[in-house]
């Protein structure tokens, strides 16, 4: 059995019902195709994520860590390619902190690539009718920080780690004017579950096809 730690986030800013946290709760304990998912919800706090993530990795001893978070305004789920060693927050976190141009880890490299099989995940989404894409920036807020930390904490292990960003859920979008692009929570949950499954079971090198962007 392979074990996947799937983290989602709790409420922040306008996201009073963060779909990533709801999905992590729904997927906790899910078993299928030789993979068990352990869902955990992290608080959106720059000083809170590292101890919480380190404790979850210690407790679950996962083969794979999939960080998930919501990106209001984006139209589809995205596998992130890279985490950067920058915290430049556009809004405060849940504790009121707003670091500007500070590193995630003072002793860390400028960036880490995802060690998830990003293109295999994308291919699986497409097979399943989910319109996902490969993103080249995870931003400079708490999701990027947590993705960076997941890679930093697992850098000398065989644990695969990366970030999947999801759009708003339709349930949340109906409450906003103008409504952001959104997908039903069930579709977003399927996208995260398939990402976890592929990340845990894809053998060897990642698939090779262009999923790049001109900007």
Closest approach of ligand PCA to the CB of residue 143, in Å: 3
Does 59 participate in catalysis according to the annotation? no
Rounded Cα distance between 86 and 104, Å, is 6
User: How, if at all, do strands 78-80 and 160-166 pair?
Assistant: antiparallel
Q: Which of 60, 19, 63 is nearest to 39 (CA)?
A: 60
- Minimum CB distance to ligand PCA smaller for 5 or for 143: 143
Rounded Cα distance between 84 and 204, Å, is 25
Closest approach of ligand PCA to the CB of residue 133, in Å: 16
Q: By CB under 6 A, tell whether 64 contacts ligand PCA.
A: no
Q: Which of 104, 111, 46, 41 is nearest to 82 (CA)?
A: 111
Binding track, positions 5-44, relative to ligand PCA; x by CB under 6 A: ----x--x-----x-x-----------------------x
Q: Which of 41, 143, 164, 187 binds ligand PCA (CB under 6 A)?
A: 143
Closest approach of ligand PCA to the CB of residue 27, in Å: 15
* Residues 6+ positions from 16 with CB-CB distance below 8 Å: none
Q: Which stretches of the chain bind ligand PCA, using CB under 6 A?
A: 9, 12, 18, 20, 44, 69-71, 139, 141-143
């Amino acid at each position: 059995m392979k074990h996947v730690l799937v983290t989602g986030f709790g409420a922040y800013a306008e996201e009073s019902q963060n779909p990533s946290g709801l999905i992590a709760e729904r997927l906790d304990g899910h078993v299928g195709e030789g993979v068990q998912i352990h869902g955990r919800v992290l608080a959106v706090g720059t000083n809170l994520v590292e101890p919480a993530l380190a404790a979850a990795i210690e407790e679950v001893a996962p083969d794979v860590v999939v960080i998930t978070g919501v990106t209001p305004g984006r139209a589809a789920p995205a596998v992130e390619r890279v985490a950067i060693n920058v915290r430049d927050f556009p809004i405060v976190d849940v504790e009121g902190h707003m670091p500007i141009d500070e590193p995630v880890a003072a002793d860390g490299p400028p960036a880490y690539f995802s060690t998830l099989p990003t293109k295999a995940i994308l291919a699986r989404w497409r097979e399943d009718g989910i319109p996902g894409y490969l993103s080249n920036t995870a931003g400079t807020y708490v999701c990027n920080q947590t993705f960076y930390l997941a890679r930093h904490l697992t850098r000398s292990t065989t644990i695969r780690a990366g970030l999947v960003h999801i759009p708003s859920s339709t349930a949340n979008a109906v409450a906003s004017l103008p409504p952001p692009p959104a997908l039903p929570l069930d579709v977003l949950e399927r996208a995260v579950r398939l990402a976890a499954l592929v990340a845990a079971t894809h053998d060897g090198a990642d698939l090779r096809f262009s999923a790049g962007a001109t900007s």
